[in-house]
Chain A
Amino acid sequence: MQTVKTDLNQIRLISWTLAIASARNQLDIPGEYIWAFPKDQTFEEIRARSRSIFSSGNSIKDPEVISYIQGLNLSQHLLNPWIVNEFQEQFPLWVKAGTRYKLDNFDLFKYVGFSAGTQESFLNFYLANHTQRFRVFRGDYWWHMDIWTKINLKWAYIEDDDLKPGDICICSCPFALLGDVHPQFNWLIDECNRIGIKLLVDFIYLPNSADCVNIDLSADCIEEITFSMSKTFPVQCAKIAMRMRKTKPNDPMQMSNDENICNRLSGGLGLEIINKFPIDYQVTKYLEKQSHWCEKLGLKKTKVVHFGLGDDYTNYGRSGNDAWCSPFNEQQNRYNLGMLYENEFLLKKLMLY
């Protein structure tokens, strides 16, 4: 088997260069979070940013999508009481039109609900199941573990204990850490079915994936699936997500849906995007870029177009916890390549392409 050697030297140089360029407002496309902007040009600020350049799972900030979004008149959606409903109706069709994955029995999920980011769905899931013990594979979205710890819910990594009655599972698919289906995902479905416990499948990176997800959603344990728009399109902080369930839930989020008080600006934006761009827009556009950068930097390509895997480039010289943002964030080996795709013009000028 061919081993890939991560070019940490080149990766570090690029990370520092992009961090300084971010501080000096020289990026082709700037970041969108406070943590993605060094607040000044001091060494400490730039160092901190350099260590998070490849973090996060957020979408590629594609210039065409950004330009399209900037040209929209979103305020009109505030006047349309049906806008969120329309988004909820169109969304499953948009997902079904995708050809790079296979979701058997997707139609079973007939209760479609707008979610203010997947975090709203997760919080409702925690609330509805707060007496259960939550279970995730190590390396899944750190926010779960962080919140469970903060609000004193019971939880354990799946690797650390057998699944038992009274447990409830969450698993991203493709898996967040790997950019591919978790090697034990099918085992997890079988085991959840056998024991009679539930499994929320988070399709967070599904739209940006190719040729890895093939799942029969009729499995009894899978009652709820979630989708996030901000991992596919540059709509971070617009909080656009969708929850789909086989049965109608009875929770605060569903009440917001039933009351028709969901965020119409976000719903309208989501609808405009899915009407304009196919679900695999980013895969089609960036698959070759992924090959280029993975080859150049010695990263292993994943099935998610904006991820590569390699050694941790921040793991040198320092002691202590290197986890970014949360002690449960164990994703330092996963590289979000978005910054490289977005800043191609700059990186070419600097001969770093």
Chain B
Amino acid sequence: MLIQLSFKNIIDNPKCRIWFNTHKFYDGIVPEYYEIQSDILSKECSLRIDLYDKSPADTLVENGKIIRDKSFELEKVIIDSYDIQELIWNSEYVAESGEIYPGCLFFGPNGTYTLNFYQPVVHWILHTRNEPGWEEDYEYYDQACKLLKQI
């Protein structure tokens, strides 16, 4: 499986850890782009991204207004060539304080973004989107893939 992550609005070199299931793939300053290559076979998958090591001093406040904040945003997730688009919001961000922000791509407070999905990812995408006819389409797609695998 190939997971491609794009980040944007990276301010003041925040640090992150990127996990796929139980394996930590990255630990360091947030990059603009990162790729995870994994041969994991398990059906259930979990992508986690932690923001850590941010202190109150990393948030500058003037007159009650934040004027600069160490932070970043998750922009795009592509799994096995599928840009999951709006499904990126099918996630949650749990701050260290315990607060839960559903579908939050902004990494402000220290915390963890989690996107759960399953393999095959195309099935997860279709199932989650639940557009009419997807089950029949997938059935034929799957059958045809299996047929062509024989040759």
- Of B136, B138, B141, B148, the residue contacting A316 (CB under 8 A) is B136
Q: Does A97 contact B (CB under 8 A)?
A: no
Task: Tell me the residues in window 123-151 of chain B with beta carbons closer than 8 Å to chain A beta carbons.
Answer: 125-126, 131-138, 140-141, 143-145, 147-148, 150-151
For A13, the chain B residues whose CB sits under 8 A away are 140, 143-144, 147
Q: How far is the CA of A318 from the CA of B122 in the complex (A)?
A: 18
Q: Does A73 contact B (CB under 8 A)?
A: no
For A319, the chain B residues whose CB sits under 8 A away are 132
Closest to A319 in B: B132
Q: Known contacts A40-B81, A316-B133, A317-B137: does B151 contact A16 (CB below 8 Å)?
A: no
Q: How far is the CA of A342 from the CA of B132 in the complex (A)?
A: 32
Q: How far is the CA of A42 from the CA of B80 in the complex (A)?
A: 9
Q: How far is the CA of A74 from the CA of B122 in the complex (A)?
A: 46
Q: Does B82 contact A (CB under 8 A)?
A: yes
Q: Known contacts A43-B126, A317-B137: does B147 contact A352 (CB below 8 Å)?
A: yes
Q: Which of A18-26, A115-123, A131-139 contacts B (4 or more CB under 8 A)?
A: A18-26
Q: Does A289 contact B (CB under 8 A)?
A: no
- Of B122, B141, B150, the residue contacting A350 (CB under 8 A) is B150
For A352, the chain B residues whose CB sits under 8 A away are 147
Q: Known contacts A20-B148, A26-B148: does B122 contact A50 (CB below 8 Å)?
A: no
Task: Tell me the residues in window 216-258 of chain A with beta carbons closer than 8 Å to chain B beta carbons.
Answer: none
Closest to B133 in A: A317
For A47, the chain B residues whose CB sits under 8 A away are 137, 141
The count of chain A contact residues (Cβ–Cβ below 8 Å) is 25
Q: How far is the CA of A286 from the CA of B148 in the complex (A)?
A: 26
Q: Known contacts A40-B81, A43-B122, A43-B126: does B140 contact A16 (CB below 8 Å)?
A: yes
Q: How far is the CA of A19 from the CA of B137 in the complex (A)?
A: 12
- Of A41, A43, A317, A350, the residue contacting B147 (CB under 8 A) is A350
Q: Does A102 contact B (CB under 8 A)?
A: no
> Least Cβ distance of A282 to chain B in Å?
28
Task: Tell me the residues in window 34-66 of chain A with beta carbons closer than 8 Å to chain B beta carbons.
Answer: 40-43, 46-47, 50
Q: Does A100 contact B (CB under 8 A)?
A: no
> Least Cβ distance of B55 to chain A in Å?
43
Closest to A21 in B: B148
Closest to A40 in B: B81
Q: Known contacts A20-B148, A43-B126: does B140 contact A318 (CB below 8 Å)?
A: no
For B132, the chain A residues whose CB sits under 8 A away are 317-319
For A193, the chain B residues whose CB sits under 8 A away are none
Q: Does A130 contact B (CB under 8 A)?
A: no
Closest to A44 in B: B82
For B136, the chain A residues whose CB sits under 8 A away are 12, 316-317
> Least Cβ distance of A83 to chain B in Å?
44
Q: Is the CB of A41 within 8 A of B151?
A: no
What does the 1/0 interface line of A193-207 toward B look like (CB < 8 Å)?
Answer: 000000000000000
For B145, the chain A residues whose CB sits under 8 A away are 20
For B144, the chain A residues whose CB sits under 8 A away are 13, 16-17, 19-20
Q: How far is the CA of A40 from the CA of B151 in the complex (A)?
A: 20
For B151, the chain A residues whose CB sits under 8 A away are 26, 346, 349-350
Closest to A12 in B: B140
> Least Cβ distance of A25 to chain B in Å?
12
Closest to B134 in A: A317
Q: How far is the CA of A24 from the CA of B151 in the complex (A)?
A: 12
For B125, the chain A residues whose CB sits under 8 A away are 43
Task: Tell me the residues in window 17-70 of chain B with beta carbons closer than 8 Å to chain A beta carbons.
Answer: none
Q: Is the CB of B148 within 8 A of A41?
A: no
Q: How far is the CA of A40 from the CA of B150 in the complex (A)?
A: 21
Q: Is the CB of A46 within 8 A of B134?
A: no
For B81, the chain A residues whose CB sits under 8 A away are 40-42
Q: Which residues of B contact A (CB under 8 A)?
A: 81-82, 122, 125-126, 131-138, 140-141, 143-145, 147-148, 150-151
22 inter-chain pairs at a CB distance below 8 angstroms, sorted by A residue, are: A13-B140, A15-B140, A16-B140, A17-B147, A17-B148, A20-B145, A20-B148, A26-B148, A26-B151, A42-B122, A43-B125, A43-B126, A50-B140, A316-B136, A317-B132, A317-B135, A317-B136, A317-B137, A318-B131, A319-B132, A349-B151, A350-B151
Which 7 pairs from chain A and chain B are nearest by CB?
A: A317-B133, A16-B144, A17-B144, A16-B140, A317-B132, A43-B122, A318-B133
Supply 17 further A-B pairs (C-beta < 8 A) apart from A13-B140, A43-B138, A318-B133. Answer: A12-B140, A17-B148, A20-B141, A20-B148, A26-B148, A26-B151, A42-B81, A43-B82, A43-B122, A43-B126, A316-B133, A317-B132, A317-B135, A317-B136, A349-B151, A350-B147, A350-B150
